Structure 1
Amino acid sequence: MHDFAMPDTAPKSGKIHPLVTRLTEEFAYPRLENGSDLAEFTRRPGVHCLFVPGDAARNLETPDAAVVLPELRQAFQNGFDCAVVGDGIETTLREETRVLKTPSFIFFREGEFLGGIEKIRDWDDYIARTSHILTAKG
């Protein structure tokens, strides 16, 4: 349940937006920097949401998505945990899941890809898409 787009191949600015940093510092979401971190996190029991911020210097939706994610998690009564995907593994993850646009939320259940939500959406769309993803069999 995502839109098709060509992968973003432009070089990244390397800057992390303060609202993305807030997710790791205030909310204690782990930052996944390599394939091992990614595999360990997504294979845990339960449902996991990976936040793929993209380059906040070029993508003005990234800060908005960083604000939406904790609210979305709360709306689903913490029914999934969250992590922030680092630049080093972002492209590979996006290509493997075919969730190509950023910012995006990519969901896994015990290692199985469930689906993704790309770009900024209306709140009702987030609720509907997340509900659909969480009820998917994987």
Structure 2
Amino acid sequence: MCIGVPVQVISPGQWFAKCRDRHGELIDVDIRLVAPPLAGAWLLTFGGAARREMDEAEAAEVLAALDSLEQAMLTQSDPLTGFADLLSRTPELPEHLKKMTISPQNPVCLLADKGFLITDAQTLPSLINAHPTLLVLLQSDPNKHPEVADSWVIIPEILKQFPATSYTAAFADSEQSELIAREYRILKYPALLFFRQHRFVGSLAGLYSWQEYSQRVAALLTTPGYRQDIPVITQ
């Protein structure tokens, strides 16, 4: 089991940040999947890599919960006895998360709520013609490829750096993504396709560091459209 652990940034770097963990030790944390943090910021980490920034109040709550769990494990032969009231309950998601079940066909809640349009192989051509700059996120099964689920969080955050009026973003589910990928010769997921002046100008396949992804997106957002016979795939 991998538990999210808050750490506080002491000295940020380009790829790694020197952080203080819950025991006061200094550790190096991979920050390539988050926006560059400032000294003093709190990060939620999994396995030594930062996944998102958190505020001080949230960090304090998580740290308190971890301390309580650790204490229970040290003082009781069976730590579960400290959670007796939970043992008889049937696990159930909170109401606001029930509709967010991750499946190959259902990234809808995370992406649609962030302004992404839904497209498929049939409607994509009309979408390309309707928008001067269009970005289309293709994906595969997130249960087999966890980086696909990561892209639902990371890519919208990357795009916040650019004016919302400078592009339109869309996504397709895994089944439709496969059909679209065949046309544009995409072999790796997640993949972000770029269309400018109603023509395909390139793609970003897989996940990159925050800085590299930002630079590549900026370049493709300003690439002029051209007549495409063979897709250009940026890897």
Give the TM bin, normalised by the shorter chain.
Answer: 0.7 to 0.9
- The residue type equivalent to 2:103 in the other structure is K
Listed as ranges, the gaps of 5+ residues in structure 2 are 1-101, 226-235
Q: What's 1:5 paired with?
A: none
Q: Structure 2 length as normaliser, TM-score?
A: 0.48
Q: Contact 1:20–1:66 at 8 Å: present in 2 too?
A: no
Q: Report 1:62-73 matches (<5 A).
A: 62-73=148-159
1:84 equivalent in alignment to 2:171 = yes
Q: Report 1:1-138 matches (<5 A).
A: 15-16=103-104, 21-24=109-112, 26-35=113-122, 37-78=123-164, 79-138=166-225
Q: Structure 1 length as normaliser, TM-score?
A: 0.77
As a proportion of its length, which structure holds more strand? 2
User: Following the alignment from structure 1 to structure 2, what is the Cα–Cα distance between the partners of residues 43 and 29?
Assistant: 17
Q: Contact 1:19–1:67 at 8 Å: present in 2 too?
A: no
User: Following the alignment from structure 1 to structure 2, what is the Cα–Cα distance between the partners of residues 38 and 20?
Assistant: 17
Q: Contact 2:191–2:204 at 8 Å: present in 1 too?
A: yes
Q: What's 2:92 paired with?
A: none
1:108, distance to aligned residue in structure 2 (A): 0.8
User: Following the alignment from structure 1 to structure 2, what is the Cα–Cα distance between the partners of residues 76 and 131?
Assistant: 8
SS at match of 2:144: coil
Q: Which has the higher contact order (CA 8 A, sep 6+)?
A: 1
RMSD (CA atoms):
2.1
User: Following the alignment from structure 2 to structure 1, what is the Cα–Cα distance between the partners of residues 186 and 162?
Assistant: 22
% identical equivalent positions = 22
Listed as ranges, the gaps of 5+ residues in structure 1 are 1-13
Q: Contact 1:52–1:102 at 8 Å: present in 2 too?
A: yes
- Evaluate the alpha carbon distance shift between residue 65 and residue 105 of structure 1 in structure 2; reply closer, same or farther with a 3 A threshold: same
Q: Contact 2:133–2:194 at 8 Å: present in 1 too?
A: yes
Q: Contact 2:132–2:196 at 8 Å: present in 1 too?
A: yes
User: Following the alignment from structure 1 to structure 2, what is the Cα–Cα distance between the partners of residues 93 and 16?
Assistant: 15
SS at match of 1:61: helix
Displacement over 4 Å in runs of 4+:
17-20
User: Following the alignment from structure 1 to structure 2, what is the Cα–Cα distance between the partners of residues 61 and 20?
Assistant: 17
1:89, distance to aligned residue in structure 2 (A): 2.8
104-113 or 86-95, which deviates more: 86-95
- Evaluate the alpha carbon distance shift between residue 28 and residue 45 of structure 1 in structure 2; reply closer, same or farther with a 3 A threshold: closer
- The residue type equivalent to 2:171 in the other structure is V
Question: Which has more radius of gyration?
Answer: 2
User: Following the alignment from structure 1 to structure 2, what is the Cα–Cα distance between the partners of residues 95 and 16?
Assistant: 18
